[in-house]
Structure 1
Amino acid sequence: MREHESMIAPEYSTIGPIGTVIAQTLQAEGIDPAPLFSKAGIDVTGLSDPRVRMPADSFKKLLELIEETSSDPAIGLTIARFIHPTTFYSLGIAMYCSDTLGQYLDRFIKYYRVVTTNNRLEGKVDADGIYHLRAISSTNQTFPGSREDGIASFVTTILRLALHHELPLISVKLARPTPTGVEGLYEKFFRCSIEFNAEHTELAFQADMLEEELTSANPELAEMYEQLTIEYLDKIDRLDFPSRVTNELIRLLPTGVSAKEKVAEALNISTRTLYNKLEASGTTYRQVLDTTRQQLAEQYIHQGIPIYEIAYLIGFSDTANFSRAFKKWAGVSPMGYRNSILSETQD
């Protein structure tokens, strides 16, 4: 059986105020941000609202446009100049009020989805007592190098802000190609050795730094803003949950599995919770299943995959059942849909 790439993906996103930071960066470079944001499909006027999220596709397009427009090959490093604790809504304040740098990073890693769901953070101490903070992509998309620069630079900047002094980095790894025409800019910013073309973007420093107490510590404020962060993520989860179900269905359908019990198991929740979460999102399991199957079927038909194989790939036991279901969804049989595509391409 051939492997087929699915173009359906979960709704990955980045918090709106990051867009404001990028707009400020562009303005400082003498670039009008409005046309670039417009071409990327992002409304620049509402980005200061943390309830606004920039979809991954639009964010990727924005970064591509910025790299094409800017004369600065390391513009991703410049973004960090405009980062401040409130950029990340309540999370930034909860972090800033943490007792130690370790607690600060624990909160950052745990609630990083506030910032973006395009990647996740992972922190580990190795046998030599070195702490590695790593950004791991959550999508199959390849983002421009400026994203990796931006991640590493803004994380370095907020750690320096928390400490109120230099963060002695041991090394920085960047999951991007080696840029040209930068002549030591990266080493100057991070003040350590840089490795390009890495598997993941990563900062490394001595683990004993985690014990350093923060002068901005305020346990009561930290707890209050952490609760606001939890409530914010609950809202995101309600909006994104159908996409998570879709993602599991895409993975399971080619194996012939579409049972709600298996999807719930993959999401580490009960079937009842699956139903309740979908209901809270304004949909049902059947609606998500049918929509996923229809979108995949249409995609595979466009790719020229045989109808019998499509039936298998989206979890039907035979072509007849698939054809009946597809006609119910699209108002036409799979062959009729394919013929209409061929007619359009010939016109």
Structure 2
Amino acid sequence: MTGRQTNTMQRESFSVTARFAQALVDAIARQGGQVPEALRLGRTQEGRVDMARQEALWALFVEACPDDPLAALRLGTDLQAGHLDIVGMLLLSCDTLGDGLEVLTEYAPIIGDNAHFEVAVLADPVQLRYVPGYVLYQQQRVEATLGCVVSLARWMTSGRFRAREVLLAHAARTDAAAYEALLGCPVRFGQPVNAVCMDACELNHTLVQAGSSLQQHLRSLADGVLASLAQDGTSARVQQWVRAHPRWGKERIAEQLGMSGRHLNRKLALEGISFKGLREALLHDMALQALRDGQKIAAASEALGFCDENAFSRAFRRWTGQSPAQYQKTERK
């Protein structure tokens, strides 16, 4: 475990990214469950959701699907990179699956900071181990996490990834064949660890949206987010304001935080981030989401505060190497 992970695990309060929590809210609704107003997340909400609230959502999810022992596993296999916040973007920017595993072990606390991943290279196979620090609904949450890992690895490698087996520390919650049908590999229960096992050669698979230059930028941003988990970082609060008001500049956001623009720069610098870099990375993320949701290019440009569609297109090409129209065409395939 890295020093950063150790410090995170020693904290008394934990949280998860709002996007991951929203995936759980949506799953409860699909199962016909009702989420009380106090537990609902606004569609534009970003930042963190405290663990007590997240565990209350898990309770509602389990209650909503009493007759489906694999509901949590199905939830995990349905999760997409966007649900993992900036960690998902980082994963998509990696060159190979092996690089992706390194990113996951380092930055997973951004998704939920009371669990972590470890890579154990036991000659062959390689084990990606998941170590939860929570107790409530542990079986369901572990299954959702490992289901997400297997499904996302398969998607990022265009279907080439093949897990050798999945290990679960708990007993089977239903017939093992049902697990194997969902995961596409053998599953063993009552094991010493929770892990996805794979042949070492699987780490060499190239990923569908590799981009090393983007990864460097995202790593800088993700480092700041990790730092903010331990000290209620300024970057986390800036992210909330930028996402809610993408047209606002540094001075306007600094005013909302009760400081000057110069002071805001100094606070962000302590987390290794600049306001410009943070805002641009967030606009990039929001642009991708808007186009994936089917928004018109002109509407996305207007919503994100660009002076015109041409300026938006230039920025989008700088971020992705594609025009917005090319990206939407690729997404529809």
User: Shorter-normalised TM-score: what interval?
Assistant: 0.5 to 0.7
Does structure 1 residue 65 correspond to structure 2 residue 60?
yes
Q: Does 2:239 correspond to 1:238? A: no
1:257-276, aligned counterparts within 5 Å? none
1:235 and 1:62, CA in 2 relative to 1: closer, same or farther beyond 3 A? Answer: same
Alpha-carbon displacement from aligned partner over 1:200-229 (angstroms, at most 9, x marks no partner): 311001011112222311111111122111
CA deviation vs aligned residue, 1:10-49 (integer Å, no higher than 9, x gap) = 11222111121112222332x13413xx6xxx63223763
Rounded to whole Å, the distance in 2 between the matches of 1:118 and 1:197 is 22
- Equivalent residue for 2:154? 160
State the secondary structure of the residue aligned to 2:159: coil
* Pairing 1:84–2:80 present: yes
Ranges of 4+ aligned residues in structure 1 off by more than 6 Å: none
The residue aligned with 2:106 is: 110
For the residues of structure 2 that align with 1:47 and 1:14, how far apart are their CA atoms?
Answer: 16
Larger radius of gyration: 1
AA aligned to 1:13 is S
In 1, the alpha carbon distance for the partners of 2:78 and 2:201 equals 28
Query: Structure 1 residue aligned with 2:27, among 14, 19, 25?
Result: 25
Equivalent residue, structure 2, for 1:205: 198
Aligned residues: 225
Q: Where does the alignment leave 5 or more consecutive residues of structure 1 unmatched?
A: 1-7, 241-279, 281-347
Residues in 2 aligned to 1:108 and 1:59: alpha-carbon distance in whole angstroms: 21
The residue identity in structure 1 corresponding to 2:61 is I
Amino acid at match of 1:110: E
Match of 2:50 in 1: 54
TM superposition shift of 1:234 = 1.6
Q: What secondary structure is seen at the aligned counterpart in 2 of 1:121?
A: strand
After TM superposition, list the pairs within 5 Å mapping 1:1-347 onto structure 2.
10-29=12-31, 31-35=32-36, 43-46=39-42, 49-55=45-51, 57-70=52-65, 71-127=67-123, 129-139=124-134, 141-180=135-174, 182=175, 184-239=177-232
| 1:119–1:137 Cα contact (<8 Å) kept | yes
Question: Structure 2 CA distance, aligned partners of 1:58 and 1:52?
Answer: 10
Q: 1:130, 1:204 within 8 Å by CA — same for their partners in 2?
A: yes
Please tell me the residue identity of whatever aligns with 1:135: Y
Residues 235 and 198 from structure 1, CA distance in 2 versus in 1: closer, same or farther, beyond 3 angstroms? same
Flag the 1:33–1:108 CA change in 2: closer, same or farther, 3 A: farther
In the TM superposition, residue 64 of structure 1 has moved relative to its aligned partner by: 3.0
Whether contact under 8 Å (2:176, 2:187) holds in the other structure is no
SS in 2 for 1:122: strand
Q: Percent identity?
A: 18
Q: Indicate if the aligned counterparts of 1:120 and 1:137 stay in contact, CA closer than 8 A.
A: yes
Letter in 2 for 1:100: T
Counterparts of 1:199 and 1:64 in 2: how far apart (Å)?
26
Letter in 2 for 1:151: T
Aligned partners of 2:15 and 2:48 also within 8 Å: no
Q: 1:80 touches 1:150 (CA, 8 Å); kept in 2?
A: yes
Deviations 1:271-298 (A, max 9, x none): xxxxxxxxx9xxxxxxxxxxxxxxxxxx
TM-score, normalised on structure 2?
A: 0.61
Q: 1:48 to 1:75 in 2, by over 3 A?
A: farther
Structure 2 counterpart SS, 1:111: helix
Return the letter of the residue paired with 1:232: V
**Root-mean-square deviation over aligned CA pairs:** 2.5
Q: Are 1:12 and 1:118, in contact at CA under 8 Å, matched by a contact in 2?
A: yes
Q: Given the superposition, is the C-alpha separation of residues 202 and 50 from structure 1 closer, same or farther in structure 2, using an over 3 Å criterion?
A: farther
